[in-house]
Amino acid sequence: MKYKNFGQTDKNVSVIGLGGTFPENLFFNNDDIDKAVKLVMSASEMGINYFDTAPDYAKGKSEFVFGLAFKQMKKEFFVSTKSNYYSDPTSDLLRRRLDNSLKILGLEKINFYHIWSIMNLEEYNNIKKHGGPLWGALKAKEEGLIEHLCFSTHCKAEETEIIINEGYFEGVTITYNVLNANYFERGLIAAYNKGLGIAIMNPLGGGLIPRNPETFAYLKEFHDDTVSIAALRYLINKKEITLTLTSAENVDQLNENIKASDDDRILDEKYYERIKYNTSDKYSSFCTSCLYCHGCPAKLDIRVLMMEYDQFILFNKNPDLLYSNVNIYWAYSYKKQPKCIECGICEKKCTQHLPIIKRIKEIYKINEKLIDFLKQITPDVGIYGTGSYTKEIFDRYENELGKIDFNIFLFDSNPEKWGLTYRDKFRIYSPDDILKLGIKKIIIATKTYYNEIYEKLKYLEKEDIIFILPN
């Protein structure tokens, strides 16, 4: 494990830190709590000495887990925990929160105490006003309960720079990864030039990078790296960054995270120039899945919609992919989903300042186009093909419009299928039967072979038969 000084402090911290946003499946019972405690202790034995938690992490159990682990850990460690302006808007409430954290963690002081998740300058100005939480933190620092006062932020880069230059803080935790580097670079450089310690959260883009290994393969400088290791190595090797916060479900994941820092491989300036060249500015507009938007009054699952919109952007705004991800994989039916009331609450909470309402409208439009297509399926429409795409059409229809209670004629070029039934109801015919059955429209249920099939059947256009390509 490599170590760096945390800014201008005397703390030598591991370049990989362990975040306390433990996966929820570790918290079903006491046995799972014990697993989480052992995971923290394993991280310490493996060289991690910076542990980041918060009162609300892991359904309020994160500090409790760390407290149990700290009692048993033999190596030196440093702790970061936090107070949020929305829950603790005054000096007294911050102090109450700090005292409670100290009690749960079993500590006499917090090494790095954060004013947590500052969203914009308006919020920051409220934090520092007379009687605000900043002054409670400064007083606690004078009393020795806080060693180093820090803040975490989702502000725009220029706003982060203003906060840094006011000089209250010794460290900062910011969102930064290869996807949003251009967007947050200014804040990173400002913190470094001011001598602050810099911790990076969300290094893997809310899981977007490991979920798309082929897309992000360009991050790999070394062939034996995974894209996750490459994305962490990208951060660890930047001189401005002190440490990168990671999460883990088990020791294997800890090992993978540490591997990014556990050798002497160096990334030079040419590497960073190549990455910057290959990383589009569009990535800065990706949702990071931070869940701050949670609590939609209309009961929309904003995180699901925005995560899948990320994929929509990533794969050149392919509407089929967006529909499949949102409606099929997530069972997020257009028919059943609640409607956006455009209240704007999610946009005010969004750490990336994304146009959430606009994106939801775009998702709606794609669904509406799909519904228009499905409504064309009537008794006088035939479907050519009986493969996976036909199955998807049937599934979509039943999911969005209800049971297919009328006859549909299916056609296939394979003679062995003629006369058989599909889904124990719909007979499969020869293409030669299209005219005999009085079909008016044909859905060619394949994209790969659409042109090939159309060429064979286009003579039917003389009989006023229309061919349809599925949306």
> Which of 324, 358, 374 is at the close of a domain?
374
Same domain as 316, residue 219? no
The CATH number for 114's domain is 3.20.20.100
Provide, rounded to the nearest whole percent, the portion of the chain with pLDDT above 70.
91
Same domain as 193, residue 146? yes
Prediction pTM value: 0.69
- Over its C-alpha atoms, the chain yields an Rg (Å, rounded) of 28
Q: Residue 264 carries which DSSP code?
A: -
Token pair listed for 347 = 């946009």
> Which of 374, 400, 415 is at the close of a domain?
374
Same domain as 333, residue 446? no
Same domain as 206, residue 264? yes
User: What is the pLDDT, as a whole number, of residue 323?
Assistant: 58
Number of C-beta neighbours around residue 97 at 10 A: 21
Place of tokens 């880069």: 157
**Most confident listed range (34-38, 73-77, 260-264, 395-399):** 73-77
Same domain as 175, residue 155? yes
Domain count, the chain: 3
Partnered with residue 13 across adjacent β-strands are 4
401 closest CA partner among 471, 327, 334: 334
Same domain as 390, residue 367? no
Q: Is the pLDDT of residue 326 over 80?
A: no
Same domain as 228, residue 332? no
Exposed / middle / buried, residue 438 (Cβ in 10 Å: 0-12, 13-18, 19+): exposed
Place of tokens 């954290």: 101
Contact call for residues 350 and 314 (beta carbons, < 8 A): no
User: What is the pLDDT, as a whole number, of residue 370?
Assistant: 75
Mean pLDDT is lowest, of 92-96, 157-161, 360-364, for 360-364
Report H helices in 113-207: 121-128, 133-142, 157-165, 181-193
Q: Mind listing the pLDDT tens digit for each residue in 333-348?
A: 555 667 889 999 999 8
Hey, CA dihedral for 9, 13, 17, 19, is it positive or negative?
negative
The CATH number for 428's domain is 3.40.50.720
User: What is the pLDDT, as a whole number, of residue 329?
Assistant: 40
Contact call for residues 400 and 333 (beta carbons, < 8 A): yes
Terminal-residue alpha carbon distance, the chain: 51
Helix (H) or strand (E) holding 236: helix 227-236
Mean pLDDT is lowest, of 16-30, 406-420, 434-448, for 16-30
Q: Mind listing the pLDDT tens digit for each residue in 396-421?
A: 788 778 888 888 899 998 999 999 99
Q: Is the pLDDT of residue 328 over 50?
A: no
Q: Is the pLDDT of residue 330 over 60?
A: no
Place of tokens 């394949």: 446
Q: Residue 419 carries which DSSP code?
A: T
Q: Mind listing the pLDDT tens digit for each residue in 171-221?
A: 999 989 888 887 788 999 999 999 999 999 989 987 878 888 888 899 999
Domain containing 452: what range?
A: 381-468
> Which of 234, 260, 284 is at the close of a domain?
284
Quote the CA–CA distance of 203 and 245 in Å, as a whole number.
7
Token pair listed for 401 = 């419009």
Quote the CA–CA distance of 93 and 99 in Å, as a whole number.
10
What are φ and ψ of residue 331, in 5° steps?
50, 40
Same domain as 306, residue 261? no
Exposed / middle / buried, residue 174 (Cβ in 10 Å: 0-12, 13-18, 19+): buried
What are φ and ψ of residue 336, in 5° steps?
-95, -20
Q: In one letter, which amino acid is 130? A: H
Q: Greater confidence, 79 or 335?
A: 79
Same domain as 327, residue 419? no
* Count helices and strands in the chain by DSSP H and E runs: 18, 16
User: What is the pLDDT, as a whole number, of residue 331?
Assistant: 45
Same domain as 167, residue 259? yes
Quote the CA–CA distance of 97 and 469 in Å, as a whole number.
60
Same domain as 191, residue 67? yes
Split at pLDDT 50, 70, 90, the class of 223 is: confident
Hey, CA dihedral for 50, 54, 57, 63, is it positive or negative?
positive
Q: Mind listing the pLDDT tens digit for each residue in 231-255?
A: 999 999 999 999 999 998 889 999 9
Same domain as 179, residue 292? no
